[in-house]
Amino acid sequence: MDFALSEEQRMFRDMFRNFAAKEVAPRAEEIDHAESLPKELLRKMVDQGFLGATIPEDYAGAALDNVSYVLLLENLATACASIAVTVATHVSLVAMSILESGTDAQKEEWLPAMATGEAIGAFALSEPDAGSDMLALETRARYEGDEVVLDGVKTWVTNGELAGLFLVFAQGPQGVDAYLVPRDAPGLTVGYREPTLGLRSAYFNTVYLEGCRVPQSYRLSGPGAGAAIAGRAVDRMAVALAAVGLGLAESSVDVAAQYSTARVQFGVPIGKKQAIQNYIADAYVETEALRYLVYRTAWLIDQGEDFSVDASVVKAFGARTARSVTNRMLQVLGGYGFMEDYPMARKYRDARVLGIIGGPTEVHAFRVARHVLAQKDLEIVPRHQ
């Protein structure tokens, strides 16, 4: 099996790496402390085609393969995980759902606008009493003539404050449906932004739908298809978030390795101490294991293979690796790692959330266990069933 990147993929990787180093990294601390994404930086990403990453050229996108796409997210995350998550939400959750399940008219209306940054995508699935449980959704959709009327509250809507288009999930007459809701739709209000421990410059908002009206033609796919659409979107996002975890881990190893050559104690750089060497070596091993798991899963998507179990594997391992690596690399920096003036504090905070967003680690662990035990003729179901 050949794990080598193609010449084109290496070219993209170098371009993404250079952009992250020159445009994002110098502003990462400023962005984190300001808790906002500069519009001019978003515009630069649009100009590079990042927001249209996997959108086909027919819709003004960059038409990247999925291996190149995870390289983009990985390299953005080495500089700023908030920006990488913003792009991943826009592309993996919203744009690709439209490309996969939308009508020709929906694609023509929305994908060019998303590729050119005119409409940032936001994903509205979670509710106050419904996270991973689709059966517990309380947002309702009813039909009046040619319109759909939506009523409910959505929480943790990623990109909410930036969004021009929301992908909203609601209980319809025949099951869960998915709807495209423009920001200016009557009855939609973007409310409270959640203050967060990490990913401080990503936007997580509560969104209110009070008699919100959109045309019936804005429903994705057929009636009751929303659960399947959400499931596939979550699988894609799992791989994207694992790439974010990879970027966080590899950049943390780099920060700690650099520090260990400059920090002198007892007359020598601390990198000469075996304890520090062990920390760095173990972190590097985990990071490289994650790298090939991320690239392989992206390759499976490009091959058209079923990757649902692999998505849960890479998401769970990516979250765990990012957390353990940033924790140990912070330890290498000692007190300086605990200071907000150094990047390790931000990376540590950002890594912690990867076990929560995109489906908590426990949900992905259940999916993996279900797959393994099914091969032994043992069926397991979520406890609420």
Distance CA 297, CA 237 (A): 12
Q: What is the pLDDT of residue 383?
A: 63
Q: Is the confidence at residue 212, as pLDDT, over 90?
A: yes
Q: What is the pLDDT of residue 135?
A: 78
Last residue of a domain, one of 69, 96, 115: 115
Tokens (6 digits) for 31: 């962005």
- The average pLDDT across 227-255 equals 97
Q: Is the confidence at residue 170, as pLDDT, over 70?
A: yes
Q: What is the CATH number of the domain that holds 361?
A: 1.20.140.10
Query: Residue written as tokens 């021009």?
Result: 164
Residue 237 lies in a domain: yes
Q: Is the confidence at residue 384, as pLDDT, over 70?
A: no
Confidence of residue 220 (pLDDT cuts 50, 70, 90): very high
Tokens (6 digits) for 72: 């983009």
Q: Is the confidence at residue 3, as pLDDT, over 90?
A: no
Residue 128 lies in a domain: yes
pLDDT tens digit sequence for 290-344: 999 999 999 999 999 999 999 999 999 999 999 999 999 999 999 999 999 889 9
Do 91 and 208 reside in the same domain of the chain?
A: no
- Of 60, 57, 67, 75, the C-alpha closest to 14 is 75
How much of the chain, in percent, has pLDDT values that exceed 70?
Answer: 99
Q: What is the pLDDT of residue 1?
A: 66
Q: Is the confidence at residue 385, as pLDDT, over 60?
A: no
Last residue of a domain, one of 199, 223, 247: 223
- The average pLDDT across 31-54 equals 96
Last residue of a domain, one of 192, 223, 254: 223
pLDDT tens digit sequence for 254-263: 999 999 999 9
Distance CA 124, CA 292 (A): 31
**What mean pLDDT, rounded, does the chain reach?**
96
- The average pLDDT across 119-143 equals 91
Tokens (6 digits) for 222: 């057929």
Tokens (6 digits) for 34: 């300001």
Q: What Å distances lie between residue 238 and 93, 112, 153, 278, 359, CA to CA? A: 10, 25, 24, 30, 8
Do 237 and 361 reside in the same domain of the chain?
A: yes
Q: What is the pLDDT of residue 381?
A: 86
- Of 145, 151, 200, the C-alpha closest to 179 is 151
Q: What is the pLDDT of residue 133?
A: 77
Residue 69 lies in a domain: yes
pTM, 2 dp: 0.96
What is the domain range of residue 34?
A: 7-115
Q: What is the pLDDT of residue 2?
A: 76
Do 91 and 126 reside in the same domain of the chain?
A: no
Q: Reduced to 3 DSSP states, what percent helix, strand and coil does the chain have, rounded to the nearest 5? A: 60, 15, 25
Tokens (6 digits) for 99: 């490309």
Residue pair 318/356 in contact by the 8 Å Cβ criterion:
no
Domain count, the chain: 3
Q: Is the confidence at residue 9, as pLDDT, over 60?
A: yes
Q: Is the confidence at residue 127, as pLDDT, over 70?
A: yes
- The average pLDDT across 135-161 equals 95
pLDDT tens digit sequence for 177-205: 999 999 999 999 999 999 999 999 999 99
Tokens (6 digits) for 228: 């399947």
Q: What is the CATH number of the domain that holds 86?
A: 1.10.540.10
